[in-house]
Structure 1
């Protein structure tokens, strides 16, 4: 943690701003002050478009760097910097070199890591350090300060992973959080260590009593975690999701376009025509909810048409969702073959549709279907660096709520395009089950 987030990355920022030790500011990797100020402003403004599930707001890196912690350095370097530094350097080799570091760090932070990936990390850091010396040291003894001992430490990261497992098994975040929990335990300025010793001892005793007598819930010092609270809505057909207020009831007949899209979604689900599906949509008002939370530690997503977005809020309405797409859709005579693909968009509405038993739909009992109205993002394909961006939005489409997986963040670059930040990884994926 200290090697990367509190040493290497801050040193790179000092190099980029021309403030690294005694070196000058005429090097090709130094960004002009106006450019760096714009990057700092964009960093601070990204707090509005990045959900709170992603962590704390990142301060203005140009003016408030003193408030950066290991967490904010990590998020800035892994997710914001690739977008904000894009097309900012006079020589693209410095940006490419930085992205190589980002890719290696993403591998190191994986929950699981294979032997092949360890070899990739070992070779990658070796090449990265060699290239670093070529770009910044340049075999000039007067620039030896650009190569601190922590730069050499990168060469041993693969060995540490091979010996101890992925870095999350041994990093210092857990210990630092624990040390932070000890600070309120200091009740005496004269004997601070005695106060901490007593706190640690009593906490250990309480933990042993919980284990020995199976009293974990009874002796818990925190309120019990409740997945479903009063006012929430849960149905058995969607065991991974719970709907949360605000709740409204609206008549879809007033919006013929939305009603048609709901019918199209149901027609695809039940393999019937849109006209037949439209006949089975209940007349009158339908429930709509403002938020949905994925159970089991998942994200809370907001429906923008029902949840207002204020100046101090953080936007949690942009989501990633997965749909099955026929890869031979343009070949009408060929049998369809489906594969899951990722899509991004803004969640606008969450609609509850209660269907009665119907022979045309092959429904033998009542069923509740949760639908999501999403305004799709016209996202570009991932570029060579794995990043995706967009400039405009497409029309609204209605999909099954089970396909909506998680929130995403966005950061706007100096060219007016939005880069998509999706850090969910393989832990948040839809499961498509054959009927």
Structure 2
């Protein structure tokens, strides 16, 4: 079983027999994913992300890069743990590889354990081996079901990560998505966009068309491939996504019903501010404590982002105030809408959700509720900037609000000083696919 999962041990060229690598190479729609893991021993790296976001493909591409750099093929050990029952079977696999590398005289390895959470109490084997020094010269990369984060299992490794990183892989952002259509615009932060967007207005018609596609597919690889090849996202892609979520919910011994009701609340009230009490009372998600726990679960599964209101005069969040809740990708909205039999948000609300989720990868964000609402507050080089999302006409512009001294207005098509159409704004906003979350 070990040799089957590591065909490059026979010849580096045989990595092409790996199913994920083969599908990646054969795909008419693909993009490169570089995982900024630490490759310096000793390192314990974790890789999280929503289901079907491309984590395993990213790991296989990493192996190809290591082989191309001249790594000893047998010093690269990959194992998908989804067929293992418990930590004892995992320990047997690791013991077997230990024998192989000792026989080969390998002193340092890159050990990639994919779907590590399938074996029950998997962490017992890993922690023991770390504590007795069996991995002291190695690089470990552990990728798993999202329940690894939701169960708090990563917290069982205090002081054991060495030089490792905690990475989160997100769906493809719009600035990378447009490259699939042959558009390569310069990207940067808010200040960069504000200083340069007028140079690229000629791209607007095409960017507007591509954004319409993005609002259907989001940045999930299978949904993107479906749409660009077939013109729509297949039911099987949505079904596989939801099935995986149900599997995680069951593993965590949580209520599928409460999860669906929470999802419905977020869909129906996207872009509005409300409280956990609303989710509990209006949608039947048990008590307020129960509603909080299911929102927290969705955050730990990297499906959504909760935005707190901020005091514009102090720059501090106000946790007890009402909040805003957004899913991080249009595909999640559509898949959850079909699952919960709820109409998805309209275009303007989906656009707002995309902008909020993109900015949240790069900045700490809040919003302000005063006489008039400020959709997003971000901190840029120590300064607070307001981002107003106006899909109607931008009628009035703010000059200052407490600590917020600068405002950008995101419009549907309108152009002007500090007014940037959403397709151009998103295409020029530099957003990473993989984020360090240490």
Same structural fold, with TM-score higher than 0.5 when normalized by the shorter chain: no
Q: Which has the higher contact order (CA 8 A, sep 6+)?
A: 2
Q: Which has the larger radius of gyration?
A: 1
- Please identify which structure carries the higher helix content: 2
TM-score, with structure 1 as normaliser: 0.24
TM-score, with structure 2 as normaliser: 0.24
